[in-house]
Structure 1
Amino acid sequence: MKLYELKAIAKRLNDFSFISRARRIEDNTLELVFDKSESYFFNMTRGHSFVYKAPSQRPAQSYHAPFDTLLHTLMSASRLIAVEVPNEDRILRFTLAPKSSYKDKIVYLQLEFTGKNTNAILLDENEVIIEALRHIDAQSSFRVIRPGVELLAIPPVERQEESREIADIDTCLEEKFRQIQAKKLLELKKQKRAHIAKKIHKLDQSLAKLPNEEELTEQAKEYSSYGNLILANLYQLKPYDTTLKTYDFEGNEVTIKLPKNIKLNRMSDYFFSLAKRTKNKARNIHIEKENLQSKKTFYENIYYALEQAKDPYELELLVPKRGKSQRKKEKLKEGELFWIEDYKVLVGRNSSENQKLLSLAKANDLWMHIRDIPSSHVIIRTDKQSLPDSVIKAAAKLCVDFSIKNPGDYQVDYTKRKFVKIQEGSNVLYTKYDTITVTKEGVEIRV
C-alpha cells in the first residue's frame, strides 16, 4: 500500500460515525462495515496487502480464533472516534469506543501494511496488545506481538514515495475489487477445473480397463473347462507340480498353470469358483459400467458449472477446499460430501447412491430433487434445526449444477425425509414439500 493511498482511505473513513460489523471473511482479509451500509475490506497478506471496497460478502468459512471473537466483541457496533496514519508510516489506526464496555473505554485497531510484518493488532488504551491476527515471537523480530505485551513503535524509516491527492478514493477501491475478483476467479477456476479434470480422467481410465461381457463369458468357460480337466487328470498330479499338460475334450493340447498353496483335491474347486465369479462379473459388468459413466457425467456437470461460475463463493461451493481438521476424518463411501455454512450436505452421483443416501437420511433431514427430471438427490443434515434460506438456496443450486448442463429455469422440490416414500430403486413419492426455482445460466449444449 502506498502512503498517500492510506491517507486518502483514512480521510474517507473519518466520514463515518460507527462500525456496525467487524469480521474475518478469508484467512487474511477483514471486513469492516461502517454505518450499516458501506463495507471496506483489508487484505493483510504478508508482502501483498491492499484495501478494496465492495458489497458485503459472505465468508467462505467461519472463523472462531481468539482474534476473531475479540474483533467482533470490541468492534461491532463500536463508535468510531478517529482513523489516522500515525508517524507518516504505512499504518491505519482506528480509535474506537466499544459498545460492549460498561464504562468509558478506548481500544485501537492497528492495521500495519509493512511488508513481511503486515498484521492486524487490537490494543487497549495503554498500548498493550489484546490480540493479533499473527503472533510474532522474539526469535523472529524485536517487536513481540502477543497478548499482554506492550506494543513497541515501528522504527522510523525514510521513504521516497510519490505524494498525490486522490479525488475519489471509493472509486479507486471499487476498481481494485473488480480487478482482484477477476484475477481470483480465473485462478480459482483453473485450479478447481484441474482438480475435477483429474477425477474425470481416472474414471475414463477405469472405463477403458473394463473387460467386455463376451471376453468374461469366454474366460468363465475356460476356467470351468480347466476345473473339469483337473478332475479328469487328478490321478496323475503330484503335490509339487506347477502345471498340468494334457488334452482337452476336443483333443487339443492344453497347459494349465496350477495355483500355489492349493491342495490337489481343491484344485478343481478353485477353477470352478473362478468360473462362477467371472460369469457373475460378465452378467453384471453393465452395472459397473453404468455406475462409472454416471459418476463421470456427474463430474462433467461440475466442470461445466465451474466454467459458468461468476464469483469465488460459487466456486468454493462446487469444489470446496479441504475441510477443517475435524472434517478431514469424514469420508463418504456413497456420494459426495459438501459443507454449506457448517451444514453437512450429501449429494448422490447416480441412482444407487441416491438410494443409499435415502436410507442413511434421518427423519428430519431435508431432501431435495429436481421436479420431473432424473437428478441427484441432495440430503441436508439438519440435526433438527431450522435451516437458513441461504443454505437451502445454495443446496438447490448444487442439485441443479450437479445434474444438468443445459441452462434454464428448474423447479427443485424439497421436504423432510420422513415425507419421502421410496417406490422402486431411487424413485420416490413425496408430500408436504416446498419448491424453489433455480436459474442455470450459460450456453445451451446440444448433443
Structure 2
Amino acid sequence: MEGLLIHAILRDLKPRLPVQTLGWVFPDEGTAALLLEGIGNLVLRYRPPNPILTLEPGELEGEPKTPFQRMLATRAKGRLREVQQVKLDRVVRLFFEGEHGFVDTPPTRLIFELTGRNANLILTDPEDRILGLDRNVTRQVNRFRELRPGLPYTPPPPYQKLDPRTANQADLRVLLGQRLAQAAQKNLDGIGKELAQELARRAGLTPETLLSEPHLPTLYKALQSLVAQPGERAALSKDLREAWEQEQIEALRKPLREALLKRKKTLEARLEDYHKALARLDEAAKLRAWGDLLLAYSQQVQPHLSEAVLIDFQGQEVKIPLEPSLSPAQNAEKYYSRAKRLEANALRGGELEPKTQEQLAKLAAELEAIEKAGRAELMQRLERTRQDRSSEVGLRFQSPSGFTVWVGRSSKENEFLTRTAHSQDLWFHVQGIPGSHVILRTAGQNAPLPDLLFAAQLAAFYSKAKGDKNVPVDYTSKKNVWRPRKAAAGQVLYTGAKTLFVDADLPEGVSEA
C-alpha cells in the first residue's frame, strides 16, 4: 500500500480523534480490526506481501488466532488518542491511552509497517520498547535492524524525497529529463507504481513520457489532484488510451525480444567459432608436417634445443619451435595432438555450421513475428516461455493423488520454483536445516494426507537431514512465503506453517533422481 493512500485514510480519521475503542476482532491470522465508536472498523491486514490499512463499515467477527493477536487484544486498549505517519512513509503509529479498572492496562503504541514483503505489526510500550510483534526479525535476516520482544524499536532508515503535499511547480523540475512513472516513484514521497501510473493518467500523459518543461503545469495540477483524492481513477482519452496500450504492448514485447536477441548473440558467437575452426585447418596441416619432420630427423636433433632447423620433403628449410625439456619424439607427439584437436574442431564446426545457420534463420523469423504481434499473442508467448522455463527447472514427481511435486536442486532453483508457484500451492521445507524447497502443486485444492506426507518426505530426503528419522517438515501456502529484501537466492521467511514428522527417506515407489 502506497504512502499517499495511507495519508488519505489517516487524514479522514484524525479529526475524529481521540475516539473510544470497543475492542479487537480477528477475521484471520493476518488481519486485525479495531472497532472505533461511531466510526467503524480500522482494519489492519498485516501479512506480507500486500498489507492494507482501511476504514470499513459493518460488523466483523473473529477471536484471536495467534499468540500475538491475543496480546494485542489484551494490551492495546483504551481511547485511540493519536495516529501518526512519518512523512509519507508506509509506517503508521497508533497511540492507545490504556484503561483503568480492576487491573489497569497501561498505555501502548501499535506500529504498523506496510512495507510489502517486510510488513509487520509491532506492539510497544510508551518508550518504544517492543512488547510483541507478528514476525521477529533476527540479525541473520537484517543485521542493521533487529526486531524482537525486549529490544527498543528501530524505525526503517530515513530517506529524502519531495513531499507532494507541499511541493510547488518549480520543485518538480527535479523530474525533468526522466520518464514520468520512474521519476515519480524515485523522487516523490508516498508514490509507488500504481499512483505513479495514476499521476500519468491525470496529467494526460503516459508512464513512459520523457518529461520536459512544457509538461510541468499539467503535471503539477495532476499531482495536486492526486494528493487531494488519491483513490479516484481518472478516465483516459482515446489518444491517451491508445498510447498507453502501445506502451503496454511494448512492455510485453521487450522481454521476448531480449531473450531472442540474447540467443541470437550466442549463436552468432558459436558460428564465428566454427568459421575460425575451419580456417585453422591449414595450421593443423602445418603442425602435422612438423611432427613428421621431427620423427624423420629425430636422431639429428640435439637435445634441449628451443628450435630445430630442418629440410622438409620438398627440399625447403623449415624452422620448428621446440620445448627444450622434451625429446624430438615428444615434441612431435605434442604437434600431432594439437593438429588432431584443430582437425576435430574443424570437423565439428563443419557439421554444426548449417544447423546454426538454420537456427539463426528461425530466430530472425521469430523476431519479426514478435514485432508484428498484438497483445493477446504476446501474452500467450510469455506464458509459454514461463511454462517452458519452469519445466526445465528442478525435479518432478507425482503425488499419490496425481498432484505434481516440484523439488529444487540448488538455491537458484529453490528461488525460481517458489517464486513461480501458484499462491495457493503448498510449500514444504525441513525445519531449521538447509534443504530443497518443495512445492505441492494443488492450486488451492485440498490435498489428502498421503500427498502431504509424500511431499514432506521429499523435502526431508533432499536436505541435510537425509537418512534421519522423525524429521520435522514445515508446510504452508506459497502466499505465506517471501524472500526478505537483500536476502540471497533461496533464503525465505514464512508464516502460518504446520509441521509433519517424517523419515528422511524417498517415498515408497520413488527412485532417486
TM-score under structure 2 length normalisation: 0.36
Which structure has more relative contact order (CA 8 Å, sep 6+)? It is: 1
TM-score under structure 1 length normalisation: 0.40
